[in-house]
Amino acid sequence: MLDDKARVLLILPQDVLDRARVFAGKSTTTLKLPVSLQIVLRALIEEGLKRNDHPALLANVEGQARAVRLRRSVGRRKGAEGDPRSRRTARRQGRS
């Protein structure tokens, strides 16, 4: 099953993580098998990817992409307002 593995860092909101833990606990009780958080997250990702044309999935992806874009743009603006390190980094990357 896990012959071709890759490592991924996944940052989730606490409430999503808590709901996944609850689901793992309920699954353990129902199946009478140990179900870890990792198993639950892997299953949710696989099932979600099977529904790639589902409007709710696309809406969720869009909302998260917009939130990341907003957070990054706010971070760039804050950095440009006075942090000398951000200006030095921007110069090294070819921006003025």
Q: Are residues 65 and 87 in the same domain?
A: yes
Q: How many domains does the chain have?
A: 2
Mean of per-residue pLDDT scores for the chain: 86
Residue 67 belongs to some domain of the structure: yes
| pLDDT band at 85; cut points 50, 70, 90 | low
| Domain annotation covers residue 7 | no
Within-domain flag for 1: no
Question: Which residues are CB-neighbours of 41 under 8 A, at least 6 positions away?
Answer: 10, 20
Residue 32 lies in a domain: yes
Looking at the structure, tell me whether residues 61 and 29 fall in a common domain. Answer: no
Cβ atoms < 10 Å from Cβ of 58:
12
Per-residue confidence band for 88, with pLDDT thresholds at 50, 70 and 90: low
Residue 5 lies in a domain: no
Give the tens place of pLDDT for each residue, 48-59. 999 988 999 999
Residues 68 and 34 in one domain: no
